[in-house]
Chains A and B, each alone.
Chain A
């Protein structure tokens, strides 16, 4: 029997967070190395970081009660070969 537990979704979410964090780092690096880290860009960076923090915080708040051991997909392939 092949099953996909629900926590796979959580793992995928963490991968997405890592990818997005790396993009953010590249953007901030660009702003700093091109003499573009001014008051305006600092404000935008702080605003984006704050919205991101709010999104992630509320995501984990909503997911706090979830039972991650539930099965999302279940394939019982042993039946496939029983003719």
Chain B
């Protein structure tokens, strides 16, 4: 499925940005995955040194192999889940609107839209050591309505996106004013 089909792209609409979180924000999940996958290796060597005859027993060996395998598969499934959750958060900016797609768990999704000409305020935030070094942060898009705002979380180059969003918003507002006057 393409993004154009997903957002039901209009014929005059052009996709300007397809934004996902910065890859570095997924690094803790990778580190956790590596640590959890190394646990069976540590346990194997520890059990081998503390109880040298542990693996010789005909019952314990198959049980421990099956349990270790299940553990590794569960860690892999958890890692896959974290990746899907990370990768399915998506912000699409077109020359007409912003579409915010958020994956909340495995079976929950929220999709919200905002017309560019309704944008009142756009701000970008870069907080912390890694965001400053790798230039990623949040972009907060607000409308006149107090309860309607979209946050692009941990996206690359938030300042550039903010500037472009303001320009796109001005262009869309001019277009809508022109349409209303006609």
| Distance A35 CA – B101 CA, assembled complex (angstroms) | 11
Q: With A36-B87, A52-B73, A70-B58 in contact, is A24–B80 under 8 Å at CB? A: yes
A35 with B5: in contact, given A17-B73, A63-B66 (CB under 8 Å)? yes
- Which of A10, A56, A66, A72 is most buried by chain B, counting CB atoms within 10 A of its CB? A66
A2 to chain B, nearest CB (A): 17
Within the complex, the shortest CB–CB distance from A65 to chain B, in Å, comes to 9
Q: How far is the CA of A34 from the CA of B6 in the complex (A)?
A: 7
**A55-B69 in contact (CB<8A):** yes
Interface residue from A9, A48, A51 paired with B66 (Cβ < 8 Å)? A9
Distance in Å: Cβ of A58 to nearest Cβ of chain B: 8
How far is A12 from B2 in the complex, measured between Cα atoms in Å?
39
Is A55's CB under 8 angstroms from B73's CB?
Answer: yes
Nearest-Cβ distance from residue A57 to partner chain B, whole angstroms: 10
Most buried by B among A13, A35, A62: A35
- Interface size range of chain A in the complex: 35 or more
Contacting residues of chain B (81-122) with chain A, CB-CB under 8 angstroms: 81, 83-84, 87-88, 90, 101, 103, 106, 109
Assess whether A72 is in contact with B106, with CB atoms less than 8 Å apart.
Answer: no
Q: Is the CB of B69 within 8 A of A30?
A: no
**CA A13 to CA B70, docked complex, whole Å:** 7
Number of interface residues of B (CB under 8 A): 31
Distance in angstroms between the alpha carbons of A23 and B87 in the assembled complex: 16
Interface residues of A in 27-44 (CB under 8 A from B): 27, 30-37, 40-41, 44
Q: What's the Cα separation between A70 and B76 when bound, in Å?
A: 31
List the A side residues contacting B87 at CB < 8 Å: 31, 36, 40-41, 44
Q: Mark B33-52, 1 if CB is under 8 A from A, else 0.
A: 00000000000000000000
Q: Which A residues contact B (CB, under 8 angstroms)? A: 6, 9-10, 12-13, 16-17, 20, 23-24, 26-27, 30-37, 40-41, 44, 48, 51-52, 55-56, 59, 62-63, 66-68, 70, 72
What is the interface of chain B, defined by CB distance below 8 A to chain A?
1-3, 5-6, 58-59, 61-63, 65-66, 69-70, 72-74, 76-77, 79-81, 83-84, 87-88, 90, 101, 103, 106, 109
Smallest CB-CB A-B distances: 8 pairs? A59-B69, A35-B6, A66-B62, A35-B3, A62-B65, A27-B84, A55-B72, A13-B66
